[in-house]
Structure 1
Amino acid sequence: MIVRKTAMISGVFSSLCLFTQAQTFDQYFTVGISNEGKHKGMPYVAAGDRSYIIGNQDGNFPDMGGHVKGEMGGLWAHPIKMMDGFWVKIKDIHSGESAWLKDADEFINYPHGNKLVYGKPLVNTSVTRFQFCPDGKPGIIVEYTLKNHAAEARSITLEFAAKTDVSPVWFSKETGVNDASDVVEWNAVQSTFTARDEQHPWHIKWGASQPAVEHLVGDKVFLPEQTIGNGAAASLTYKIALPANGAATIVFVVAGSNRNGKEADAVYQDLQKHHALLLKKKNTSYRVLLERAKITVPDKSLQQAYDWTKINTAWLTRTVPGIGTGLGAGLMEYPWWFGCDNTYAVQGLLATGNIELAKQTLHLLFEQSQKVNGNGRIAHEISTNGTVTNKGNTQETAHFIMCVGRLYEYTGDTSFIREVYPYIRQGIDWLLGEKDQNHNLFPEGYGIMEIRGLNAELIDVAVYTQQALEAATMLASAMNDTGAKARYDSLSVLLKDKINKEYWSNEQSLYCDFYGTTADAISACKGAIEQVQLGERSDTGTARMVTYYQQLKDAVEKMPAASQGWVLNKNWVINTPMETGIAPRERALHSLDVIRKENCGPYGPYLSAAIDRRHMMTIATGVQAVAECRYGRIDEAMWYVGKIVETFGQTLPGSISEMMPDYGCFTQAWTNYGMTVPLVKYVFGVQPDAIHKRILLAPQFPSNWKEGKIEHLPVGDNVFSLSVEKAANTVKYTVIQQKKQWGIVFSTEYEKGSQYYLNGKLLDGKPLLIPMNGGKNELIIKD
């Protein structure tokens, strides 16, 4: 640590906002979720798209996380970290009583920020801390409101102690960018501290809405928690007058820049002047978010989890200068971008009408992959410093192409397609060329399950390649590439048939983990043994697992050399043929029943049901829900969705953990896939076709629902709503859309003896597809 004192560039302190009496930032958004004093040692986040805070729900900032060991918490403005954390001490000047605010009685989570409540840290004194990160600004606002419960006025000192850690994001050291000591400088004119990394242009600045009466740096500062790193300790002390039975508020701002101190100063001044306006703007953005694709359903727990899933997605949006905007994977360990995670999460964004973020995310993946690969391959993991740490697993290229097709269905916009289509053509060639050495249409290479030695022709890779070919057929048509369209269409049909022939196990009534030779199966067993022994799998039954794979390897070694499908792990991705609907119906239903009966735990499919019957994830359960939806089994699908809902708030109020029920990342982007796609695409039955300015509707309500509605769902340039009301012998569907030139096609299974009334007119015949005009339509079906 290096500490310097200097009067920096002159600032106009009078323009800063002084603390106000009893005015709190959370007045604009009153609905939050409390931890009720529980889970104090669990993490939280207050996030904007440019910055976020991660700490514990007791108000402290312990060293947390593994990617940058112990450094994943604190205050971040990617691609840099700003602080390890901050701690506040208050003292009654008259009595001398003092206390650190380090054990919050309650934590309340809001979409836009969080509140921590400290009951009575001093006699007759209560404190609340509210914090939020404005969107578009690399900075953080923290507000402390002190309330005096005594009949006489009092004077309180408040010490704000901070530990800087101006340092780079994960995977910087490997590229030659190393963290250096922080240089701390005091600005007496502005009453602020500035810190910068000694060897890089990264800067942060912090201060409060009134002048400090004392400042300390270095060894003179006491911190309630000791933290690692090359940062520096600094504290600011303020004198606060508390009126009798009154309150006062002080506002702190921390601002950062990865480029220079001038920019950090500009952000700081902006946040001090406009923090109230920025909070109102942030609240408005969340209200808009919640109104878009808004659902009202009988199951209020499901409705709450659905709403907060959309909120969680906003928390994970990362904007980084020089790279772009995209959906990060999860907090706290994976705030950067992944090809695999986003190919699921983007589908959830589309289902809830968050079209712009879906497009931004896909564009970021495309641009960064083009830079590092340039051959159609989509990168797996991209740090916020722009470093690609894995150039891409095979499945991700196929899945990306599929998602671009989904985006086109929702937007009908060819501008983005025109930009990425050449790379998509390269991607198909890469999958069926370099990655298909034996030319059997099954690309080789790692897929979603990153198990050592499982570098074979995996089921998920084959299935998503088939889906990529279907999407590429549509995209080639949009680009008038008739030769490619015909080729992709023919290959998609052929690959679908080959998957159902070669990957199906009659013995197991399941699809296989992979297709390959006996040598491939032996390699997979050896890799699994090595992975278990190296401790890469967090399973206490190491000996049992090694024995299982050793016995399996011994059995395979005795078999004659042959190519076939292999069921070794029963990884959850064997569900992908049902998820995508390419499995024949009778086979699919039988397999879905087997999975539910034999391969599921309390929260859905085990990740590897053959041996590791402990771990479950929201994505696996979500994929299973979609698979059930594909075959019209909505009640079964909602059972899986309900399992995700059960885990809501078990770590962080308002969020769902990656690993079910309560560990891994405490909020995860791809959870939205299982929470939103089954509801929007299948329960409400919204099948977009913006390409032809129409929407196909095929609602399938759970048997115990009598009503429900989805409102304000964007599809292309249209906005659409649907409500469903069930009575004893009648079902009424009300459809409203903004654009009258758009068409609605309502799909229903004709039931003998039923009568169908469209806008009051009885329909003749046996209607299966009912066209509707623009505007408002009412369909009534009477038994």
Structure 2
Amino acid sequence: MLPTRTTRGRAAAGVAVAALLLPLVTLTAPATAATAVLDPALARSAELTETSRLSERRTVVTGDRAWVLGTADGRFPAAGFHTRGEMGGFWLPDLKLLDGMWFGINGRWIGEGTRTTTGWGYVRTDLPVTDGVRASRTDVVPDGVSGALVGLTLRADRTRTITLRADAHSELLSSYPWGETTPSQTDVNRPDTAAARARTLEFTDRGNPPGATTGAHDWAAVVGSTLRPTASTTGPDHRGPQDPAVICPASGPASPTQPPRCDDTAYGRGAGGQLTYRVKLRAGQVRTVWFGVGGSTEGVADARAELRAALQDPVGALEDKVAERQRIDARTVVDLPGDPRLAASVRWSKQMLAASEQTVDDPQLRVVNAGKAYPAPVGTLDSMTWLGAGWPDYTWLFGTDGEYTAYAAVAAGQFEPIKAHLRALRDVSEVVNEGSGKIVHEVTPDGAVYFGANADPGNTDESAKYPSAVNLVWKWSGDRAFLRDLYPASVKAMRHVASLDADEDGWPEGLGNVERPGMGEEKLDNAVYTLRGYADLADLARARGDRATRRWALGRADRLLQRFEDTWWFGGDTRSYADSLRDPDDVKVFQRHWIGLTPTDAVLPRIPGRASGPLASREHALSTLEQHERACYTGELGLFHTGTGPTSAPAGNPGDSCDSEVSAVPSERNVFTLNSAIAAVSEGNYGRLAADQQGRYTSGNARSQLDPELWEMPGMMPEIVRSPDAPANIDRLFTQRSMVMQAWGAYGTLWPVVHQWLGVSPDAGRGRVAVVPQVPVGQTRASGRAIRVGRGSLDVAARHRGTAYRTEVTRHGRTALTIGAVLPAGSRVATATLDGRGVRPTLTRTARGVEATVRVRAGSGTSTLVVTVR
């Protein structure tokens, strides 16, 4: 997904009447708060909690084949914008199942939750006392199951039998089309049918939509419990305390103003049902009753099988989920005494990445021309696994998101999901683009390629970044089979990029990351990532022994390197690079977009005549980084999308001016966590780790994840943070919010800490790793353990005290090591010892500063380097 994207935006069923179906009422008096009701049998992890504004906070729980989005008080308002209001509820990656699930006790709906708790793989909601019964709700989505679980934990002070009712409202809806595409969900969404059968509620949607453009389908969701119901009914409503429903209009240019909060939308054609149970509670003892939903695109029998799988052992499923997330937590364990919030952000970012993995079977691949067409599929895949970009409106496969997220994934030791993501991009691209080498941009879980087909004018950067992502994963994992598998796609990708050069100047044309009018044909980010892509392809070719491709890629990289600064540096008091070049004659266009920092973000591998390092010259890099730290580019929480300054745009300049150049576009003071991540990495690439340099951006992203004034969901980093031109998500309508959880921001926390602070730089495929830490100014130590490299791992501890710089590395697994430290400018080495023996370190001037390094032969165990300076 691009950080510049703009928002795009019931029939009655048969009724089975049974006994004990008394109407439930919504509590109108304030809910009675109670202490938490915890079932000791339910696994728990580290947790974050919040009690304020719960009805305005979204929460999301995911598995690899399903997910649930509601609010922190246990409700399910209409949410999301792709199909307005329908992006929340219970989903498989490619199919919505339910709008929500609600519970009542003895004729009263359970009131709004009083506390939300985010754990690793689950969310718990503390609920108010209802008719003398205390309760909490645990939502968990098991991996490997197309369904979700809800555990309702109950406790009464006296032994009694209660009547427990569960409402469910369906909305069987495909992940594509959306609300305003052609066709739209208004055209294709069919009414659901509800039935009470075999102790469950069955919801189905079968047949051909109007016009039959999408083909026949057989969708189903089945809701049930571990208990036997005493009664059941179906009908058009059954949204628990959210009945009668407030309905939002469908979106579109002529849409009327929507209410501030809705329960469903005009797109909805779902059905409802209720299951009733008699539950015995013993005095002072907790009892957890489990409910589940299973879903399928292959009919009700498959959906019922998924429900059985989910309900087979709910306690065990939660235990397995927490255990898997604890294994993830055990990798890349960092200790940052000088910045504990950043350390906490690293910890929760690992969980956020793990929560983003998604899998579907049999996606039907079709090119939908940015929502203007819906042709027959051109092919299918057996399965597709990827890292979802953001919840709830961008849960699908993106190229750009995956490339930035790759850095966070390898730093977290999560190699397998990013490998799968890159394979999915290759597989989809090969089918829909017929082997051209072009990498697709955006693919919904059901296989609709929204953008990135051969006929689309971009995004060029997707293809240019592909070999760089492959090389990154190869260097960290050392997986030669992965290299062998994806190397041909990397070659094709750069051959394709090379063909996008109508004026034959080496800089490719096409759209890039900034989707805004007024840019020239050749975009800065495309140029930057193309140059890096050639260098990475050359490195991959060396590993594969492909001399011809290596010569070709090196030749193109070298020619562009020689011309880059003169071609792209805008200069003057802008102290920045041009955002684009306009043909003819490559006229420089300056617009202050965030991509101005891509030359400082992109790091090239070592190639003949040039050491590994960031693309931008040190002189220009320091100048533009200092410029971007000023108020015209950076706000309280990070980097603006488009900086402020003189402009001919009608809206004028709403902020500071840091240069005299008149731009033709307005500023956009929105702060995307990706933009701040790029700024953070850029600062670190040049050794600028101080609190008023890199720290401004790492702090902004960490705060967005851990400061309750900023986030909606504890521990989850959003897509966009509060900024001068964008209120915080919690202050916006549910149908107009950015993502509550967005993977790409982790690039700005995990990568700076692991790669720049701790200095871990593997080349695992060649059996070596460099560890050259740099402890930020004002701090004395940083450490990390279980940092995954190849088939082994590293523990790293860096300490700076007075004139001494100490680096300790423990290798778990055999590898060659370069151990070192970044020394302060102007210092000279006084002494150096490796494991207590005197050594003469190699001094190398890099973009980070002077690196003092010593080579250690291949092996395992602990090595300690101590360098003193004068």
TM-score (norm 1): 0.87
Rate the CA distance shift 1:691–1:244 in 2: closer, same or farther, 3 A: closer
Deviations 1:330-351 (A, max 9, x none): 0011000111111101121112
Give SS of 1:143's match. Answer: strand
Moved more, 666-675 or 492-501: 492-501
2:95 alignment partner, one of 70, 80, 85: 80
**Preserved CA contact (<8 Å) 1:139 1:255:** yes
Q: Describe the shift of the 1:379–1:747 C-alpha distance in structure 2 as closer, same or farther (beyond 3 A).
A: same
Gaps (5+ residues) in structure 2? 1-10, 17-36, 208-216, 246-263, 363-382, 453-457, 603-613, 645-665, 723-727, 730-737, 844-851
In structure 1, the residue matched to 2:650 is none
2:232 corresponds in structure 1 to 215
Aligned counterparts, 1:661-672, within 5 A: 661=722, 662-663=728-729, 664-672=738-746
- For residues 573 and 764 of structure 1, what CA distance do their matches in structure 2 show? 41
**Closer, same or farther: CA 514–219 of 1 in aligned 2, 3 Å:** closer
Cα distance in 2 for partners of 1:237, 1:186 equals 12
Given candidates 494, 501, 504, the residue that maps to 2:559 is 494
> 1:269-288 residue pairs with structure 2 within 5 A?
269-288=308-327
Distance 1:220 1:443, change over 3 A: closer
In the aligned structure 1, how far is the partner of 2:718 from the partner of 2:237?
40
- Whether 1:517 aligns to 2:591 is no
Post-superposition offset of 1:30: 4.3
2:681 to 626, 644, 654: 626
Q: In structure 2, do the counterparts of structure 1 residues 760 and 329 end up closer, same or farther at CA, with 3 Å as the change threshold?
A: same
Percent of paired sites with the same residue: 25
Q: Tell me, in whole angstroms, the C-alpha distance in 1 between the residues paired with 2:53 and 2:467.
A: 44
Question: What is the match of residue 573 of structure 1?
Answer: 595
Give the C-alpha shift of residue 355 in structure 1. Answer: 1.0
Deviation, 1:221, is: 4.4
Note if 1:646 corresponds to 2:703: yes
Given the superposition, is the C-alpha separation of residues 409 and 695 from structure 1 closer, same or farther in structure 2, using an over 3 Å criterion? Answer: same
Give 1:730 shift: 3.4
Establish whether residue 583 from structure 1 lines up as the match of residue 616 from structure 2: yes
Distance 1:250 1:408 in 2: 46
Aligned to 1:776: 862
* Corresponding pairs, count: 713
**Among 243, 252, 257, the residue aligned to 2:296:** 257
The change in CA–CA distance for 1:219 and 1:212 in structure 2 (over 3 A counts) is: same
Alignment of 1:375-774 (within 5 A): 375-391=436-452, 392-433=458-499, 435-454=500-519, 456-507=521-572, 508-517=574-583, 562-567=585-590, 569-580=591-602, 581-597=614-630, 598-610=632-644, 611-635=666-690, 636-649=693-706, 650-661=711-722, 662-663=728-729, 664-746=738-820, 748-749=822-823, 751-752=827-828, 754-764=830-840, 768-773=852-857, 774=859
Quote the offset at 1:465 in angstroms. 0.1
Letter in 2 for 1:118: L
Shift of 1:758: 1.0
Q: Which has the higher helix share?
A: 1
Are the aligned partners of 1:60 and 1:102 in contact in 2 as well (CA < 8 Å)? no
Q: CA deviation at 1:114?
A: 0.8
Say if 1:579 and 1:176 are closer, same or farther in 2 by CA, change over 3 A: closer
Map 1:184-223; keep pairs closer than 5 Å.
184-187=194-197, 190-199=198-207, 200-219=217-236, 221=238, 223=240
Q: Deviations over 1:626-680 (max 9, x none)?
A: 1111111111212211121122242111112111134311110111111111111
Identify the range of structure 1 (391-400 vs 98-107) with the bigger mean alpha-carbon deviation.
98-107
Which amino acid in structure 1 is aligned with residue 404 of structure 2? Y
Q: CA deviation at 1:141?
A: 0.9
Q: How does 1:289-328 map to 2 (within 5 A)?
A: 289-298=328-337, 299-322=339-362, 323-328=383-388
Does residue 131 (structure 1) correspond to residue 139 (structure 2)? The answer is yes
Distance 1:613 1:383 in 2: 28
User: In 2, distance between residues paired with 1:642 and 1:280?
Assistant: 33
Q: Give the stretch that moved more between structures: 196-205 or 587-596.
A: 196-205
Structure 1 residue matching 2:309: 3-state secondary structure:
helix
**Secondary structure in 2 matching 1:197:** strand
Distance between the aligned counterparts of 1:770 and 1:382, measured in 2? 46
Aligned letter for 2:828? K
Partner SS for 2:530:
helix
Q: Does the CA contact (< 8 Å) of 1:572 and 1:608 recur in 2?
A: yes
CA distance in 2, matches of 1:235, 1:129: 18
Pick closer, same or farther for the CA change 1:497–1:4 going to 2, 3 Å: same
- Which residue matches 2:118? 109
Q: Distance in 2 between matches of 1:667 and 1:614?
A: 21
What's 1:170 paired with? 176
Q: Does 2:416 align with 1:356?
A: yes
1:653 and 1:115 mapped to 2: Cα distance?
12
Shift of residue 694, structure 1, vs aligned partner: 0.6
Is this contact kept in 1: 2:140–2:148, CA < 8 A? yes
> Over residues 127-163 of structure 1, what are the superposed CA-to-partner deviations in whole Å (9 max), with x where a residue is unaligned?
11111000111111111112113xx423321110110
Within 1, Cα distance between the matches of 2:238 and 2:327? 44
What's the CA shift for 1:765? Answer: 6.8
Structure 2 residue identity aligned to 1:632: G
Q: Cα distance 1:466–1:197, how it changes in 2: closer, same or farther (>3 A)?
A: same
- Seen in structure 2, the aligned counterparts of structure 1 residues 180 and 88 have a Cα distance that, compared at 3 Å, is same
